[in-house]
Amino acid sequence: MIATSSPRSLWLAGVFLGALTVAAAAQQASPSPLPPGSPLIGQPDNEAASKLRPQVAPPLATSADKLPIAKLKVPQGFNIEVYASGLNNAREMALGDKGTVFVGTRLVDKVYAIVNKDGKREVKVLASGLYRPNGVAFHNGTLYIAELSQVSKIDNVEDHLDDPPKPTVIYDKLPKDEAHGWKFIAIGPDNKLYVPVGQPGNNVLHDDAHGQIRRMDLDGKNDEVYALGVRNSVGFDWNPENKQMYFTDNGRDWLSEDVPNDELNRITKKGEDFGAPYCYQGNIPDPEFGWGHSCSEFVAPVGLMGPHAAALGMRFYTGNMFPKSYRNAIIVARHGSWNRTNKFGGDVVVVHLDKDGKVKDIEPLVTGFLQDNKYVGRPDDVMLMKDGSILISDDWNGAVYRVSYGKSKVAAQ
Binding site for other proteins (CB under 8 A): 1, 3-4, 14-15, 18-19, 21-22, 25-26, 28-29, 33-40, 43, 50, 53-54, 56, 58-60, 106-109, 131, 176-179, 181, 201
Q: Which is nearer to other proteins, 108 or 227 (CB)?
A: 108
Q: Which is nearer to other proteins, 56 or 412 (CB)?
A: 56
Instruction: Output the smallest distance, CB 39 to other proteins, in A.
Output: 5
CA dist., res. 247 & res. 145, Å (int): 19
Q: Which is nearer to other proteins, 204 or 391 (CB)?
A: 204
Q: How far from 99 is each of 102, 138, 328, 335, 403, CA to CA, in Å?
A: 10, 11, 22, 26, 17
Give the containing element (helix H, strand E) for 19.
Answer: helix 11-28
Cis preceding-peptide flag for 31 (omega within 30 of 0): yes
Give CA 85 to chain center in angstroms.
Answer: 21
Q: Which is nearer to other proteins, 27 or 296 (CB)?
A: 27
Q: Which is nearer to other proteins, 59 or 99 (CB)?
A: 59
Instruction: Output the smallest distance, CB 322 to other proteins, in A.
Output: 34
- Residues forming beta bridges with residue 121, ordered by sequence position: 116
CA dist., res. 376 & res. 197, Å (int): 29
Instruction: Output the smallest distance, CB 206 to other proteins, in A.
Output: 13
Instruction: Output the smallest distance, CB 241 to other proteins, in A.
Output: 38
48 three-state secondary structure:
helix
Instruction: Output the smallest distance, CB 167 to other proteins, in A.
Output: 18
Q: Which is nearer to other proteins, 23 or 169 (CB)?
A: 23
For residue 401, count CB atoms less than 10 angstroms from its CB and return exposed for 0-12, middle for 13-18, buried for 19 or more: buried
> Cα–Cα–Cα angle for 212, 224, 207, nearest 5°?
40
Instruction: Output the smallest distance, CB 393 to other proteins, in A.
Output: 17
Q: Which is nearer to other proteins, 3 or 412 (CB)?
A: 3
Q: How far from 311 is each of 161, 167, 195, 317, CA to CA, in Å?
A: 32, 29, 17, 16
Nearest alpha carbon to residue 153 among 161, 140, 166, 143: 143
Instruction: Output the smallest distance, CB 174 to other proteins, in A.
Output: 15
Instruction: Output the smallest distance, CB 214 to other proteins, in A.
Output: 21
CA dist., res. 266 & res. 301, Å (int): 7
Instruction: Output the smallest distance, CB 38 to other proteins, in A.
Output: 5
Instruction: Output the smallest distance, CB 266 to other proteins, in A.
Output: 30
DSSP string for 282-304: TTEE-TTT-TT--GGGSPPPSEE
Nearest alpha carbon to residue 148 among 118, 124, 184, 116: 184
CB proximity list for 303: less than 8 A, separation 6 or greater = 263, 264, 351, 358, 359, 362
Q: Which is nearer to other proteins, 31 or 119 (CB)?
A: 31
Instruction: Output the smallest distance, CB 249 to other proteins, in A.
Output: 19
- How does 275-293 read in b/e, with b if 16+ C-beta sit within 10 Å? bbbbbbbbebbbebbbeee
DSSP conformation class of 359 = E
Q: Which is nearer to other proteins, 7 or 35 (CB)?
A: 35
Q: Which is nearer to other proteins, 4 or 222 (CB)?
A: 4
Q: Which is nearer to other proteins, 58 or 165 (CB)?
A: 58
HEC assignment per residue over 130-192: CCCCCEEEEECCEEEEECCCCEEEECCHHHCCCCCCCCEEEECCCCCCCCCCCCCCEECCCCC
